[in-house]
Structure 1
Amino acid sequence: MNYVLLVCAVFFLSSCQAKTNSPDMNAPSVTIIEAVEKNQLSVVREALKNGADVNTTDKSKRSLLLIATQANNQEMAKLLVANGADVNQQDQIKDSPFLYAGAAGFAALVSLFLEHGARFDVFNRYNGSALIPACERGHLAVVKILANTKGFPIDHVNRLGWTALMEAVVLGNGSKKYVEVVQTLVNAGCNIAIPDNDGVTALQHARSRGYTEIAAVLENAAVQNGTKK
């Protein structure tokens, strides 16, 4: 009888030890936010499968998709949008996945978000579109995508009183990539005559800065539009 009790006790203790040493028992719990930050696709996929909110936010109101976007984690972004993530959800400083991708020059993500409901009437903290900072920073690939997207507000004016064209001229350096940005905007039909808050046009700014190639692009456009000054 004692032998039987001893065997049962050993079996019971062994079972408890096995459960204690289980990887699942010892693994620290990871929130879905942390999993996105660490680009743990399988963990995020499982969490979403089990009912996690795809639009969960962190303490700064950054959505999971915005966190993935800021890290340019394209596969994570694809997983999240496939599960219904809002590409327009803004954090406490008004960044959204779509706006941030445009400003950062993440062309692949811009295209992805355009395919998943990107809105053109949601603006950043400067009341700017995704195109305006892309032009400022010379992100030509993004400029080409957005400037040629049907319905995109290419001539939107931000809080500073500047259009995308104006920012490309005033905040650019006149180099080749900015010439291409300006040419792309002109080819897409931007209004070159919209002045800044002081009444100065992009062409006038280009001339005053000695950006001769940009000035030439704008002068040619002005001739074609019959607005040369």
Structure 2
Amino acid sequence: MLLAMLSVTPQVIGKTQMENTGLHVAAARDDVEAVARSLAAGASIEQRDETGSTALMVATQENNIRVADMLIRAGADVNAKNRIDDSPYLYAGARGHLEILRLTLVSGADLASTNRYGGTALIPAAERGHVETVRTLIDAGVAVDHVNNLGWTALLEAIILGHGGDSHRQIVDLLLQAGADPNLADHDGVTPLEHASSKGYRAIEQRLLAAGARPAK
């Protein structure tokens, strides 16, 4: 019996704990009362499911603000990463889950932490056009010129992967106003201005030029 118990992998143990307490299921359903019961019954607030996610991570993925607030107040780690290097803070920023993001920011969010692409929360937020999220992250102090593993800053990603519409124009404005370097090129030496020009984003081109972008010679 002892040998059988020792042969159980950590992954299986984690899954069993999840099923026994129901904490992750309750978090996914935004069931505050069930989460409270699970914690009172002894469930660890930092226990992981089969994806390596904590209950707070699950609540964040579902944008379940009530449960996220409860778990954070109870001491859940806003920087705990799952197996693909997402944390509640990083995920909330990337997905534009603004209320949960704000909760993480006042509860010890690591502004320098990065996702599996080597990017801060600001970079995917800029890409996806989450204007208020970008504003919030800039105000919190996230570095605007951080370069991810692809060689892209938030400014470059907003242009390369954005649609050039109003939300991305606003984000370009916010980044430039926060001091983003309009001449910081990607790993291939292509600048934000060159990317905007190739995509026909004239309004963004004008913003970059006004901020000091240098046209290619």
TM-score by length of 2: 0.86
TM superposition shift of 1:176: 1.3
Letter in structure 2 aligned against 1:114 = L
* 1:172 shift after superposition: 0.8
Residue in structure 1 matched with residue 76 of structure 2 by the alignment: 85
How far apart, in 1, do the equivalents of 2:84 and 2:140 lie?
A: 26
Query: Which residue does 2:194 correspond to in 1?
Result: 204
Corresponding residue number in structure 1 for 2:146 = 156
Matched with 2:184 is 194
RMSD between aligned residues = 1.5
Q: CA deviation at 1:166?
A: 0.2
Using the alignment, how far apart are the partners of 2:140 and 2:28 within structure 1? Answer: 31
Amino acid at match of 1:162: W
Decide whether the 8 Å contact of 2:21 with 2:38 is kept in 1. Answer: no
Residue of structure 2 aligned with 1:49, choices 33, 40, 58? 40
The residue type paired with residue 71 of structure 1 is: E
* Cα offsets for 1:145-193 (capped at 9, x unmatched): 112223x111110000000000001111111111111001111111222
Please state whether the residue corresponding to 2:125 is helix, strand or coil.
helix
Partners of 2:152 and 2:209 in 1: CA distance: 19
Deviation per residue, 1:25-54 (Å, 9 max, x gap): xxx975222221222211211322343211
For 1:221, the equivalent position in structure 2 comes to 211
CA deviation vs aligned residue, 1:116-146 (integer Å, no higher than 9, x gap): 0000222111011111011111011101111
5 Å matches for 1:55-66?
55-66=46-57
Deviation at 1:114, TM superposition (A): 0.4
Matched, 1:145 2:136: yes
Q: Which residue of 1 aligns with 2:8?
A: none
Output the CA distance in 2 between the equivalents of 1:166 and 1:73.
31
Q: Which residue of 1 aligns with 2:59?
A: 68
Cα distance in 1, alignment partners of residues 157 and 24 from structure 2: 35
Distance in 2 (alpha carbons) for counterparts of 1:159 and 1:30? 38
SS at match of 2:211: helix
Query: How do 1:115-194 residues align onto structure 2 when only pairs under 5 Å count?
Result: 115-150=106-141, 152-194=142-184
- Displaced runs of 4+ in structure 1, greater than 6 A? none
Structure 1 gaps, min length 5: 1-27
Contact 2:56-2:76 at 8 Å conserved across structures = yes
